[in-house]
Amino acid sequence: MTEIKFKNNDYNFIDTLNLFLIGLYPLAIITGNFFINLFTFLISLNFFLNIRNNIYYLKQKAFYIFIFFFFTLIINLIFSVNFENTAPRIIKFFFIIFFIFEFQRIRQKFNNTYFENIYKFWFILFIITSLDIVFEIIVGQNLLGFKANLTGRVASFFGDELVVGAFYHGFVLIFLSYLVNNKSNKYILLLSILSVILISFLIGERSNFIKLFISVLIFFLLIAKIDYKIKISMIFLTVISILSIINFNIDYKNRYLNQFIPTNGASPTLRPSGSLFSINGYFDFMKKSQHGAHRISAYQIFKDNIYTGVGIKNFRDVVADKKYENNEYLLTNYRHGTHPHQIHYEFLSETGIIGYVSFLIFILFSLFLAIKSYFKSKNLYQLSGIIFVITSLFPIIPSGSFFSTLGGGIFWLNFAIMIGFNRDIKF
């Protein structure tokens, strides 16, 4: 149970290229789907080119659980209602498997100094993105001239795709881990934590803000060696700051409050519900929201295809069937979408009970191995990956598609960091 030891002269051009590709991966995420797929393919390709030397990495428990999950996706492909929709996603997942283990191999081959420089670059990129977000909030457009087409939202470097909140959630703990590892002053750490939470809030992506807030809170409580009174005061200050913004800014008040608890008789578009926090408020809200229409449709599709689902990426086609119209849900005519906007409903409807249980086994066993490794290594970057994976898979909270390219790029990079520090390679 140890890491492979490499000699200093083992470095070669392809390995060095992969090191750079890993370092530039966040830029690929910002640039778009083509570069995410290209980087993933090139990084995984090197693993195949050196498969005989990399066979050790295929003896891990983590690899076996990947193969188990991949096998269930093959079953899903066989029973898919649209082979053409499902096949590309499963092929992509095949390359993701080897992207994960190539990341682990490169991390172990190059010493910590090399990877610390990668984390430093990601740290700087996160700061630049933060400044760009603040600039857009103040000026109305980002440094490149992009601006959001929705009130209370931020575009940043992602342009028309309003997903900077997902990017922010994906890299915030790496940013904080770098601060802690470099022994930053506790007041700088506290200010940074407050800043990233407020910036995430101002981005306007509610579900990503909730996930980021919980992620940072867990990280803060576990890692910050600060008196508990200061921790409590910090949490209190954060909550007060958020409530103050809601109270004094009408756009954020509408975004975070009125769309859930309408006031003065004003009911926002697509969400004409009463208080989300009243008795039976959640169920009432779901029946009067588009998210509710997505979820009840996904559940009905699951009931009709209970064992294998309709196939990955087929929700978009099947949901249009008139039999999934449900007049108990006010916005049933808005149920159409590329996915159900909740990972668990997505897996249930598209992979059935076989795929969903396999997914849970895959995730829980991967987390078990990573947490076990973390208790030995105490590596903060691994902890950041663990927390991100957990918060990304929260039930109830809306989410992007698990099989999307951009969201997947962020998720699998964090997953690679989580797995990359495991030390259960057998010889």
Domain chopping of the chain, boundaries: 8-110+289-420
The whole-number pLDDT of residue 31 equals 94
pTM for this model (two decimals) = 0.90
The whole-number pLDDT of residue 275 equals 56
Written as one string, the DSSP assignment of 253-296 is: HIIIIITTS--TT---TT---S-TTSTTHHHHHHHTSHHHHHHH
The whole-number pLDDT of residue 268 equals 42
Q: Which helix (H) or strand (E) holds 199?
A: helix 186-203
Alpha-carbon distance of 54 to 51, in angstroms, equals 5
Question: Please, are residues 273 and 289 in contact by the beta-carbon 8 Å criterion?
Answer: yes
* β-bridge partners, 2: 425
The whole-number pLDDT of residue 279 equals 60
Tell me the one-letter amino acid at 238: T
Would you give the distance in Å from CA 132 to the centre of its chain? 21
The whole-number pLDDT of residue 2 equals 45
Tell me the longest C-alpha to C-alpha distance in the chain: 71
Alpha-carbon distance of 395 to 191, in angstroms, equals 30
* Beta-carbon count within 10 A of 411 CB: 21
The whole-number pLDDT of residue 422 equals 81
List per-residue pLDDT tens for the chain, 427 residues long.
444 454 444 667 888 899 999 999 999 999 999 999 999 999 999 888 888 778 888 888 899 999 999 999 999 999 999 999 999 999 999 999 999 999 999 988 887 778 889 999 999 999 999 999 999 999 999 999 999 888 889 999 998 888 999 999 999 999 999 999 988 788 899 999 999 999 999 998 999 999 999 999 999 989 877 777 888 888 899 999 999 988 888 888 888 877 666 444 444 444 444 456 666 667 777 778 888 888 899 999 999 999 999 999 999 999 888 888 888 888 788 788 888 889 999 999 999 999 999 999 999 999 999 999 999 989 999 999 999 999 999 988 989 899 999 999 999 999 999 998 886 444 3
Phi, psi of 50 (to 5 degrees): -120, 35
Question: Please, are residues 301 and 318 in contact by the beta-carbon 8 Å criterion?
Answer: yes
